[in-house]
Every structure is written in C-alpha cells, then in structure tokens.
Structure 1
Amino acid sequence: MTASERDKMAAGEWYSCLVDELEALRMTARNAVHQHNAMAPIERGNMASALRVLFGAVADDVFIEAPFHCSYGINIHLGARVYLNAGCTILDSGRVAIGAGTMLGPNVQIYCAEHHRDAVLRGQGLEVAKPVTIGADVWIGGGAIILGGVTIGDGAIVGAGSVVTKDVAAGAVVAGNPARPLRRVST
C-alpha cells in the first residue's frame, strides 16, 4: 500500500503539497483562522472556538492575539499559559510543540516546510516537513524566525529579529541572523 502525501508529510518524508487532501486541510485552517481574526476580541476571548478545535492540542489558558495564521493547525501543540502576540505565523506542515509559559512576540514566524532545491521538483510541490520544538518558559522576541528542525530549550531567550537555524540550549540567550549564543539567562 502506498503512503498518502499526508502520511509522508507526517513521517518527515518528501511529499507533494499540491494534493486535494492537503488543500482541504489548509482550507479548514484558513476558515478557522479567518474566524479568529474577524471576531471582536470580546467575543473571541483567548481564541476563536474553531481555532481551538483545529489544533492538535491546546491548553485552556492559551492566548492568541489577532491576526494569527497557520497552514494546517492540526500539527500545533500549545502548553499552558502560552501567549502568541499579534501577527504570529506558524506554517505547521511538521509538528510544532510550544511548552508551558512560553511567549512569542509580535510577528514571530515558525516555518516547518523546506521546499525542494531542484527547481523542477519544487515546481511539483515537493517539500519536507521538519518539526519545531520550543520548551517551557521561552521568550521569543518580535519578528524572530524559527526554521524547521530546530529545538529551543527551556528558559531560552531569542532576540527580536533573529533567524534561528540551529538548536538553542536551555537557558541560552541568542540573537542575530543567523542566531548566535550571547550568554546564559541570569536569574
């Protein structure tokens, strides 16, 4: 039996994102995101119900500001007290796990998909999904970009505007493009 493109995506294998099943999942996510972004804050509360139902896992006290965008939603797992500021984008073709107490500044972007380097294959929609894991009590400054395959350890700080291309150790402070260690978090 041949694996579906969704199965390949979940397994971290090369898959085509241009199939009806994945487009249907993205359309469901677009509708949930639209509901979240269009609702008045007093009606939306911490997040729109359609968005809450969409996610793979989400704690009751997660707060997501509008606007927000995700590509699938089903691969997003958010721990207790996670806060996503306005303009956050999570392209979750791979699993994205964000630990308890973590805060993302405005316009933080998380990209799991890596498109094929061969132009012909890229044109056929071939990409691979790489997971992103962000530990507990992490602070990610506004405008930071987190690339697929990255793990950020508990208590780390990522400076505003940084591009994180490699793992960040627990308690580390990183900044820059690409992000580099500056020091350890002082308590």
Structure 2
Amino acid sequence: MGLYATAGAKLYIGSTKNQKNDDFVEADFDAENWTEIANLENLGSLGDTAEAVNFNPIGSKRQKTLKGTRSAGTMEVVCGIDNDDAGQVAAIAAEKSDHDFAFRLVLNDAPATGIKPTPSERIFIAKVMSASEAFDEANSVMKLNISLGVNSNVVRIAAATGD
C-alpha cells in the first residue's frame, strides 16, 4: 500500500445498536442503513487504549503494570454546520438519546488496481455525547462539534482490489 490523505474519507451514522459482551464483527453491521454525515473538517482519533493496573510489590521495589479494561476513547468530529444534512440532523437527534448508534468510517485508500477496488473501513458503536455548535469569528465557518463516546471494539475492514 502506501500513504493516504484523510481527504475523501466519509463518516456515516446508522441506527441504535445494543452493546454485547463479545467483540463486534463485520457481519453484525450487515443490515445497517447508513446516512452520511456531510461537510466533515476533522475526524479526530479512534482506537483502543488499555487502562493501566498498577501493583506495588514490597519485595521487589519495582512497580508492576498490567493491562486492564480497554477503551476506544472519544472521537471528536468537526463539521461545517448544514441544517439540511440528514447525517448532521441524525447525529443531533442521537445526542438526545441514551442509546448507542452504529458508525462507519470509510477511508480514502482504495487500491488503484483491481476489478472493483474498495477502501478500508472502521465500524463501531458509540454514544453521541455532545453535538455543540461553534460560531467563532467573522471569517469562520460555523461548526458542529460531535463527540462520539466509543463503546465497542473498532472493526477494521481492509481495502481490497475486488478481484
């Protein structure tokens, strides 16, 4: 492969999705209907971090660190406000809900060759923790800041040539 720009990536919101005890897999999202969230400016970051569990044994004088629970963190998404965009409207409505929603991030990294090349994807569930508007100064685009509290593993789907 190679290096790819974030430009061209797309973020989609789906319907409510229940948490489960096991990791999600791609098939868990097969029946989802996706709505694109348009006018993205920043997608933030996404991925697991383990909580540190520290133990201080008296005899060795060396702290031991273990891995505890994992968290995929909070994805901070920034969009230019578009009151007519169905994806932004859905994200604002999702903020008012206590439920998790399905999200799909499609990257701009489809192979240059192949019969039907497809880009890689990241699929996960998250609670929309906030949907706040930022207006800033005169020469600024008004922004919708969406915070996604990720509540699952992130399913990684590799780019493919479609051969």
Bigger Cα Rg: 2
Normalising by the smaller structure, the TM-score range is: under 0.3
Which has the larger strand fraction? 2
More helix by share: 1
TM-score for both structures, normalised by structure 2: 0.23
